[in-house]
Amino acid sequence: MAMQAFTSVTGPATPLMMANVDTDVIIPIQRLVGTGREGLGPHAFERLRYLPDGSDNPDFVANREPYRGSPIMLAAENFGCGSSREGAVWALMGMGVRCVIAPSFGDIFFANCFQNGLLPVRLPIEEIRRIAEETEAGPGNARTTVDLARQVVITPTGREIPFGVDTRKKDAMLNGLDDIAMTLKRADAIAAWKAQDRATRAWAWESVA
């Protein structure tokens, strides 16, 4: 329920260019049984990130410099598909990721991101590949910036790519708003809706009363 506000982030964009990265591979369920929101960072992507002996897998791109600990990750289609586990967002944030740029996201993961202050940005795959190429071709300090207020991604060569975001989600990200408190301001509207529903759809109420 506590959200980190998001304004902008800058870093080398980690090119995890895989499609259908599911939330099971982002964080195995075993790490979420009886644990809180903290401390999941070391387990993010653990099945890809570590070798069987526990050492870093050099083939996993986020283990390589300059990407280690970068706040920006690039991915292909359908990132965060599968399970609703919000632990996938907590684990990504625990490893330092604050923004994922992909052509599409799993719907539940997408919603979970905004609840915590991780910004999911949708861009066409061609744009994402170009950012990856600019980053890999550039010097070690090739950086990408994601600016939420201006709604632009600034690539290592200085190109500005606009992206869309819903106003209510943008405001919540910039200001870290509490959505339960916002909804409870509408208590009168909820009460009125319930009164008319109870009168017209008694079966939905009485059978569980």
Q: Which residues bind other proteins (CB under 8 A)?
A: 1, 17-20, 22, 24-25, 28-30, 32-34, 47, 76-78, 81-87, 89, 104-109, 111-112, 115-116, 166-168, 179-180, 183-184, 186, 189-190, 193-194, 197, 201-204, 206-209
| Minimum distance of other proteins from residue 74's CB (angstroms) | 13
Dihedral pair phi/psi, residue 192, rounded to 5°: -65, -40
- Contacts of 46-55 spanning 24+ positions with Cβ under 8 A: none
Q: What are residue 8's DSSP bridge partners? A: 147
| Minimum distance of other proteins from residue 96's CB (angstroms) | 20
DSSP assignment letter at 56:
B
Query: In this complex, which beta carbon is closest to other proteins, that of residue 9 or of residue 89?
Result: 89
Query: In this complex, which beta carbon is closest to other proteins, that of residue 11 or of residue 87?
Result: 87
Name the nearest CA neighbour of 21 among 145, 119, 109: 109
Cα separation of the two ends of the chain: 29
Other Cβ atoms within 10 Å of 136 Cβ, number? 12
| Minimum distance of other proteins from residue 154's CB (angstroms) | 25
Whole-angstrom Cα distance, residue 3 to residue 177? 8
Contact 124, 101 (CB under 8 A): no
Query: In this complex, which beta carbon is closest to other proteins, that of residue 112 or of residue 145?
Result: 112
Burial grade of 139 (CB within 10 A; 0-12, 13-18, 19 or more): exposed
| Minimum distance of other proteins from residue 140's CB (angstroms) | 26
| Minimum distance of other proteins from residue 78's CB (angstroms) | 4
| Minimum distance of other proteins from residue 204's CB (angstroms) | 5
Query: In this complex, which beta carbon is closest to other proteins, that of residue 69 or of residue 117?
Result: 117
Query: In this complex, which beta carbon is closest to other proteins, that of residue 78 or of residue 155?
Result: 78
Contact 43, 54 (CB under 8 A): no
Query: In this complex, which beta carbon is closest to other proteins, that of residue 53 or of residue 209?
Result: 209
Residue type, 166: D
